[in-house]
Every structure is written in C-alpha cells, then in structure tokens.
Structure 1
Amino acid sequence: MPTPRETILTALADLLRTIPHAPVLRGEVLPERIPPAGLMILRDGNPGEPAVTLSPLTYHFQHRAELEVIVQSAMERDALFYALCAQIGAVIAADRTLRGLCDWVEPEGAEPVDLPVEGAASLKAGIIPIILHYATREPLV
C-alpha cells in the first residue's frame, strides 16, 4: 500500500501530465534528447519536520517537492520556458487539492538557469519548488 506522500506525489505527476506534449518523469536523470515542447522531472523533495496536533494525533507536513523544467531551442527558448511554466501554474491552480488528497498545492517562482550544450541548441532549465500541504495520522510518510 503506498504511503500518503507517494500517493500525493503520484497525483501531482499525473496532474502535470495533463500538459500536452511535455513529458513528466519522476526522479529520473536528464535524457540525452529534450522533446520540442520541453520536459519536466518531478523530484520527491523533502517533507520536512511535521507540526503535530493531538487528539486525534495528526502530523501536518509542508512538503517541498521540486519540479525541474527543461526546454531546448536555438530560438525563443525563453518564451518556450516561460510558456511551460505558465501551463504548470494553470494546471495546479485548476486542482489545488489534487482531488482532495492534500490541503493545498502552491508552486513558487521558477529559478531559471541557462545551460549551454556543445554543438546543439542551448538549454534553459529551472527548478520550480512546489509546496504540498497535507496532514496524515502516519508519522512516517
């Protein structure tokens, strides 16, 4: 049986997969080829130390997952990158609770990085921290 954390991260990955033409990977290495629409890699991140309430005993997490966003293009790579970031924000805004699995999902601003690639169009990549607010009665999620 999957843990609450795995269930929520899987639901987040599934939500991100609704963005057309941009594949979503979970915890994988960067592939050699980037699709024309870009690529997203969801990293599990850190659930952090939970806040605890008693009666009933409940653990409240503010889990910080990381979404790596990568585009490759000789022209308009900045526009492609920010368009993909806007799509990510839009799909998350449409389902802030991942169908009721968590209390709130909040993406933060992208931290972009330019990555030159020898002999090919340059990459533009960034990390989007995504904060997942959820509560569970299981201490080890």
Structure 2
Amino acid sequence: MPMSRETILAALHARLSALPATALRGEVLPERVPVEGLLILRDGEPGEPEVTMSPLAYHYQHRAEIEAVVQGAGRDAAFDTLTASVGKALAADRTLGGLCDWVEAEAPRPVDLPVEGAATLKAAVIPVVLHYSTDDPLGG
C-alpha cells in the first residue's frame, strides 16, 4: 500500500522519540544538549524515483538524516551508546510498521566540536535510507 512521505517521516520520528535521548524534527541545535543525548531528524531528499507503469508507482530511496549529538566528559561512550540505540530501534522493525519496504542507516562520521565556555560536543549525521513506493509524487 503506497504511503506518504510525511507519514513515513512521522513514524521514523516516533521511533526515535521512544529512545532515552531527546528527539526533535527539523529543529535547530538547542543551547543545551540533554545528558542522554540529542537526535534531530532532518527530512532529507526523496531523490529521483524509479517508475513502474502498470499500476503506476513511484519507487523512492529517500535519504533522511539524523543528527546525533552528545556533550560532556564521557562523550565517546555516550555517543557509541546513542548511535547503537538508533541502530537497534531501526533494526527492530525495518518497515516502520509496514509503511516502508525497508529502512537502513549508514555509518556515521563523528566529529568533536569545541564549544566556547562549555564541554566539547561529539556529533555526527547518520544517513537513513527509506525505501517506499507511492502512486503520486506530490502526495507521496
């Protein structure tokens, strides 16, 4: 059954919201990073679809992004825990309850970001590929 992009992204955000870290969608990085870490879902790009004609369907490999951020003295271990929890949440149901054909994360590339007057941040973007089909590229 074809699903809309918004339904799929909302389901992905709900899955991230069930984790101990704070999960936001499309927000700017707040001044304070919660102790448990921070995840910010970016809607990303659906890309060019493959099209089948009978029945008409547009098959997307939509690339969303999850920004993962931790701060503090134990940031390396906290970052590993945070990214592993994202991986486990996605692996628990690779179809987001049947909304997608497949969901798969790619490896993050972490960086340490100095913050003037505060503990250094450890952050990375985790690309997430959402495979889904829709019968309308504007409604889907």
Q: TM-score scaled to structure 1, two decimals?
A: 0.95
The corresponding residue for 2:136 is 138
Summarize deviations over 1:51-85 as a string: whole Å, max 9, x none.
00111000000000000000000x22111001100
- Does 1:29 pair with 2:28? yes
Structure 2 gaps, min length 5:
none
Structure 1 position 112, deviation (Å): 0.9
Aligned pairs for 1:1-141 within 5 A: 4-20=4-20, 22-73=21-72, 75-140=73-138, 141=140
Q: CA RMSD in A?
A: 0.9
Q: Name the SS of the counterpart of 2:110 in structure 1.
A: strand
Structure 1 position 139, deviation (Å): 1.8
Q: TM-score scaled to structure 2, two decimals?
A: 0.95
Structure 1 position 41, deviation (Å): 0.3
Q: Name the SS of the counterpart of 1:132 in structure 2.
A: strand
Moved over 3 A (4+): none
Structure 1 gaps, min length 5:
none
User: How many residue pairs align between the two structures?
Assistant: 137
Summarize deviations over 1:25-66 as a string: whole Å, max 9, x none.
110100000000100000000000000011100000000000
Summarize deviations over 1:107-138 as a string: whole Å, max 9, x none.
00011111101111110000000000000101
Q: Name the SS of the counterpart of 2:86 in structure 1.
A: helix
**Which structure has greater strand proportion?**
2
Cα distance in 2 between the residues matched to 1:109 and 1:32: 26
